[in-house]
Amino acid sequence: MIDFDAHLAPYAAHSSKSRGRRHPEGPAGARSEFQRDRDRIIHSTAFRRLEYKTQVFLNHEGDLFRTRLTHSIEVAQIARTLARSLRLNEDLVEALALAHDLGHTPFGHVGQDVLNECMHDYGGFEHNLQSLRVVDHLEEHYGAFDGLNLTFETREGILKHCSLTNARQLGELGQRFIDKKQPSLEAQLVNLADAIAYNNHDIDDGLRSGLLTMKQMEEVELFARLHREVVRQYPGLPGRRELYETIRLMITAMTVDLVEASGALIAQANPQSIEDVRNSPPLIRFSDSMRAETSALKRFLYANLYRHFQVNRMRVKASRVIRELFDAFMTDPVLLPPDYQVASSDTHKQARKIADYIAGMTDRYAIKEHKRIYSLDTF
């Protein structure tokens, strides 16, 4: 029998000690339980759709901008590196990184915000909960059950945030939000790997698009300091390589800082099991100085990229597409594909099915669907 956990720290998530799956299954053979989860996520329909879902720039705006898919792959790479340094479970962090955006709507965060507004009277919409809904119910690959039947630990890590109202409906999975306990260190780590990835690749995409300039980036102390180091080491380096070297140093600085700060916290808390981790305060974090610098970077990107007037124009268009699709489907559910029509007069159930349909759309499919319904030139 293969021991998949021999190299792990006692406080890591051990696949041999998993709380199991909602529907019991036999052993995965040459794979650990978390490897099986990762493989099911990669082969899911929702994962493939991430290729055509927005990160910051809409999919049709350029072939080299990040999408939800490329973002998820970058998060997985960073998370596995961090996990190995802290002797955490690399297979679990990879599964979590690849699954963390499965429930995201088209058009990035604006899509989620508008769909949440549309669903205000029907329980709201939150992409973490939708990711869980995707893996628990919406994927249709197996004869014995709906969803992907993932392990408790993977499902727990997907659910980063949850209101108490929703937590009470989730049973064991929602109990930690009620008891104010922590998820596994693997889940905590993926949350920060996500931030490291998007903070750095959004700089690259912002500069590539022309919405940001190198002069503007010099206003960010973390970027400016490491950029000066690149110029010192490689004088006269071409612009793109100069930028990539700077971003590489930024990712290295963030990951090294996180490993050192988290390692010190773990050593101080001395957890001997994953249950000790759940009963401890958060143990994966940046140092105070790095947290301040990454917060400054986030504020800069929010003000200068995410709220740039050209991005705002696309936000307004995307908002209109989502809102008008929802309104059309709620007014006339017969416009929906048959699988999304509810036979009863239960408007809450119908609204949730509409949210499932819209959230599953790619950017380009949502635009096409909007044209099919509203354009007189499309029949």
Report if residue 8 sits inside a domain. Answer: no
Q: Please report which confidence band the pLDDT of residue 58 belongs to, taking 50, 70 and 90 as the band edges.
A: low
Q: What is the mean pLDDT of the chain?
A: 93
Report if residue 61 sits inside a domain. Answer: yes
Residues pairing with 54 in the sheet: 67
Range of the domain at 161: 15-310
329 shares a domain with 274: no
Question: Which of 74-88, 296-310, 317-331 comes out lowest in average pLDDT?
Answer: 296-310
pLDDT at 66: 79
Domain boundary among 260, 288, 310: 310
Contacts of 278 (CB under 8 A, 6+ apart): 176, 181, 182, 183, 184
Report if residue 231 sits inside a domain. Answer: yes
145 shares a domain with 42: yes
What percent of the chain is predicted at pLDDT more than 90?
80
Report if residue 51 sits inside a domain. Answer: yes
220 shares a domain with 329: no
Is the pTM higher than 0.85? The answer reads yes
196 shares a domain with 65: yes
Report if residue 73 sits inside a domain. Answer: yes
Domain boundary among 310, 336, 364: 310
**What are the tokens at 230?**
């690149």
pLDDT in tens, 153-197: 999 999 988 888 889 999 999 999 999 999 999 999 999 999 999
329 shares a domain with 294: no
144 shares a domain with 70: yes
179 shares a domain with 152: yes
- How many domains is the chain partitioned into structurally? 2
**What are the tokens at 213?**
């300039």
Q: How many angstroms separate the most distant Cα atoms in the chain?
A: 69
Contacts of 173 (CB under 8 A, 6+ apart): 132, 152, 155, 156, 159
Q: Which residue has the higher pLDDT, 1 or 339?
A: 339
333 shares a domain with 227: no
Report if residue 5 sits inside a domain. Answer: no
228 shares a domain with 322: no
Distance CA 107, CA 275 (A): 38
Report if residue 170 sits inside a domain. Answer: yes
**What are the tokens at 116?**
């949440």
Distance CA 77, CA 71 (A): 10
80 shares a domain with 43: yes
Distance CA 142, CA 149 (A): 9
Report if residue 87 sits inside a domain. Answer: yes
318 shares a domain with 261: no
Domain boundary among 310, 326, 348: 310
Residue 125, domain CATH: 1.10.3210.10
81 shares a domain with 51: yes
